[in-house]
A = this chain, B = another copy of it.
Amino acid sequence: MSARHGIVLFGHGARDPRWAEPFERLAHKLRGQCGPDTTVGLAFLELMSPDLPSAVAEQAAAGCTTVTVVPVFVGVGGHIRRDLPAVIDQCRIAHPGVDIQCAAPVGEDDTVLDALAAYCLRQIGAVGDGR
């Protein structure tokens, strides 16, 4: 049996259930691009479920031997710098047989910032009301 890999897209969460829609679209895109040995899940810091320990536990139970957490945060403040490492440690203790890694937040990546810049440039003179 080949090794199973997990990816957890980690977002802040919000009261409005529609808040998670871009995260669900992103997960859907990834599932279409990953091989059959990769499981893609979502997790939230607050106000939405599952939380990160639950999402990691689900991937561990599904047989993932590696789990990569990707913080889908543009701005990086206390939630990522302070809270997330503590939760990652908690997950590692709970699943000693799983290699749990945490990627840099998406806002740190130059190609993501390039895509954001290109999007902004396309909006000049070509936008609707955004509502």
Cα distance A70–B25 in the bound complex, in angstroms: 20
Cα distance A23–B105 in the bound complex, in angstroms: 13
- Check A102 for interface membership: any CB of B closer than 8 A: yes
Sorting the interface of chain A by its residue count into under 10, 10 to 19, 20 to 34 or 35 or more gives 35 or more
CB distance A130 to B113 under 8 Å? no
CB distance B30 to A120 under 8 Å? yes
Cα distance A36–B70 in the bound complex, in angstroms: 37
- Check A94 for interface membership: any CB of B closer than 8 A: no
Q: How far is the CB of A91 from chain B (nearest CB, A)?
A: 13
CB distance B22 to A107 under 8 Å? yes
Chain A: residues with CB nearer than 8 A to chain B? 5, 7, 9, 11-16, 18-23, 25-26, 29-30, 33-34, 38, 66, 68-72, 74-78, 81, 84-85, 101-109, 111-121, 123-125, 127-131
Can you give 13 A-B contacts (C-beta < 8 A)? Answer: A5-B124, A14-B75, A16-B78, A19-B75, A22-B113, A26-B120, A34-B124, A38-B124, A66-B125, A68-B120, A68-B123, A106-B116, A112-B112
